Amino acid sequence: MSDTETMQVVYRSDYRPPTFWIDHVELEFDLDPHNAIVTTKITVRRNTDQPSRTLELVGEQLKLLSVSVDGVALNDDEYTASSDLLVLNDLPARCEVQTKVAISPVTNKALSGLYQTSGNFCTQCEAVGFRRITYFLDRPDVMARYQVTIRGDKSTCPVMLSNGNRIASQDLGDGRHEVVWEDPHVKPCYLFALVAGNLKCHRGSFTTASGRDVALEIWVEPQNIDKCQHALVSLQKSMKWDEDVFGLEYDLDVYMIVAVNDFNMGAMENKGLNVFNSKYVLASPETATDDDYLLIEAVIAHEYFHNWTGNRVTCRDWFQLTLKEGLTVFRDEQFTADQTSAAVKRIDDVAGLRAGQFAEDSGPMAHPIRPESYISMDNFYTSTVYRKGAQIIRMYHTLLGQDGFRRGMDLYFRRHDGCAVTCDDFRQAMADANDTNFDLFDRWYSQAGTPELFVTSAWDESAGRLTLSMRQSYPDLAGDLPGTKDRKPVPLPIRVGLLDAESGAELSQYNDVLLLETESADFQFEGLDRQPIASVLRDFSAPVRLRMQRSDDELAFLMAHDTDAFNRWDAGQTLATGMLLKMAQQAADGQPLDEPKLFSDAFAKILTDDSVDEAFKALAITLPRESVLGQEMDVIDPDAIHTAREFFRRSVAGSHRDQLTALHQSLAADGPYSNDQQSINRRRLKNVVLAYLVSLDTPETDQIAADQFSGADNMTDQQAALAILANSNAEQRIAALDEFHRRYHGDPLVLDKWFAVQASSSRAGALSEVRRLSGHSGFTIDNPNRVRSLLGVFSVNQSVFHQADGKGYELLGDYVLLIQSGNPQLASRLVSAFNSYRRFDTGRQELMLRQLKRIASEPNLCKDVHEIVQRALKF
Q: Determine the Cα–Cα distance for residues 126 and 711; give it in Å rounded to an integer.
A: 44
Residue 116 lies in a domain: yes
Residue 47 lies in a domain: yes
Tell me, yes or no, whether 479 and 402 share the same domain.
no
Report how far apart, in Å, the C-alpha atoms of 279 and of each of 1, 289, 519, 839 are: 42, 11, 45, 34
Q: What angle do CA 488, 492, 494 make, to 5 degrees?
A: 150
Tell me, yes or no, whether 376 and 357 share the same domain.
yes
Q: Determine the Cα–Cα distance for residues 756 and 749; give it in Å rounded to an integer.
A: 11
Residue type, 645: R
Quick one: pLDDT at residue 6?
56
Cβ contact 731:762 at 8 Å = no
State how beta strands 213-220 and 254-260 pair. parallel
Edge-first strand listing for the sheet containing 143-153 = 72-73, 63-69, 94-103, 36-46, 20-30, 143-153, 176-188, 165-171
Q: Which of 198, 220, 247 is the last residue before a domain boundary?
A: 198
Number of domains comprising the chain = 4
Q: Which of 402, 430, 446 is the last residue before a domain boundary?
A: 446
Residue 107 lies in a domain: yes
Residue 468 lies in a domain: yes
Q: What is the 3-state secondary structure (H, E, C) of 799-813?
A: HHHCCCCCHHHHHHH
Q: Which of 414, 446, 478 is the last residue before a domain boundary?
A: 446
Bridge partner residues of 862 (DSSP): none
Kind and range of the H or E element at 297? helix 290-305
Tell me, yes or no, whether 45 and 191 share the same domain.
yes
Q: Residue 583 in 3-state DSSP?
A: helix
Bridge partner residues of 48 (DSSP): none
Residue 754 lies in a domain: yes
Label residue 869 left, alpha or beta by phi (over 0 means left) and psi (-120 to 50 means alpha).
alpha
Q: Which of 396, 384, 498 is nearest to 449 (CA)?
A: 384
Phi, psi of 116 (to 5 degrees): -115, 135
Instruction: Measure CA of the first residue to CA of the last residue in the chain; give whole Å.
Output: 23
State how beta strands 55-58 and 63-69 pair. unpaired
Half-sphere exposure of 282 (CA within 13 A, CB side): 22
Q: Determine the Cα–Cα distance for residues 665 and 655; give it in Å rounded to an integer.
A: 18
- Residue 229 DSSP code: H
State how beta strands 492-499 and 79-82 pair. unpaired
Cβ contact 214:228 at 8 Å = no
Question: pLDDT tens digit string along 86-131?
Answer: 999 999 999 999 999 999 999 999 999 999 999 999 999 999 999 9
Tell me, yes or no, whether 440 and 463 share the same domain.
no
Residue type, 768: S
Q: What angle do CA 703, 706, 707 make, to 5 degrees?
A: 85
Range of the domain at 344: 314-446
Q: Give the list of residues 6+ apart from residue 259 with CB closer than 8 angstroms, or none.
A: 218, 219, 220, 221, 224, 276, 277, 278, 280, 281, 282
Kind and range of the H or E element at 605? helix 597-607
Tell me, yes or no, whether 399 and 504 share the same domain.
no
Cβ contact 480:448 at 8 Å = no
Quick one: pLDDT at residue 481?
84
Q: How many other C-beta atoms lie within 10 A of the C-beta of residue 488?
A: 11
Q: How many other C-beta atoms lie within 10 A of the C-beta of residue 377?
A: 17
State how beta strands 72-73 and 63-69 pair. antiparallel
Q: How many other C-beta atoms lie within 10 A of the C-beta of residue 510?
A: 18
Tell me, yes or no, whether 484 and 437 share the same domain.
no
CATH of the domain at 116: 2.60.40.1730
Label residue 71 left, alpha or beta by phi (over 0 means left) and psi (-120 to 50 means alpha).
left
Tell me, yes or no, whether 97 and 75 share the same domain.
yes
Tell me, yes or no, whether 818 and 771 share the same domain.
yes
Q: Which of 187, 149, 161, 204 is nearest to 271 (CA)?
A: 187
CATH of the domain at 410: 1.10.390.10
Cβ contact 180:149 at 8 Å = yes
Q: Give the list of residues 6+ apart from residue 517 with CB closer than 8 angstroms, or none.
A: 440, 489, 491, 492
Residues of the chain with pLDDT under 70: 1-6
- What is the signed CA dihedral for 405, 411, 412, 413, rounded to 10 degrees? 120
Q: Give the list of residues 6+ apart from residue 505 with CB closer than 8 angstroms, or none.
A: 499
Tell me, yes or no, whether 485 and 417 share the same domain.
no
Q: How many other C-beta atoms lie within 10 A of the C-beta of residue 284?
A: 16
Q: Which residues are the active-site residues?
A: 303
Report how far apart, in Å, the C-alpha atoms of 437 and of each of 440, 442, 818 are: 8, 11, 51
Cβ contact 62:132 at 8 Å = yes
Helices (H) and strands (E) in the chain, counts: 29, 31
Tell me, yes or no, whether 494 and 360 share the same domain.
no
Phi, psi of 568 (to 5 degrees): -65, -45
CATH of the domain at 498: 2.60.40.1840
Q: What angle do CA 225, 231, 235 make, to 5 degrees?
A: 135
- Residue 766 DSSP code: H
Sign of the CA dihedral running 812, 813, 814, 818 = positive
Quick one: pLDDT at residue 5?
40
Phi, psi of 583 (to 5 degrees): -65, -40
Tell me, yes or no, whether 462 and 498 share the same domain.
yes
Cβ contact 99:39 at 8 Å = yes
Residue 203 lies in a domain: no
Residue 663 lies in a domain: no
- Residue ranges with strand state E in 301-374: 313-315, 373-374
Q: Residue 156 in 3-state DSSP?
A: coil
Q: Determine the Cα–Cα distance for residues 444 and 489; give it in Å rounded to an integer.
A: 9
Tell me, yes or no, whether 103 and 89 share the same domain.
yes
Residue type, 224: N
Residue 356 lies in a domain: yes
Cβ contact 199:159 at 8 Å = yes
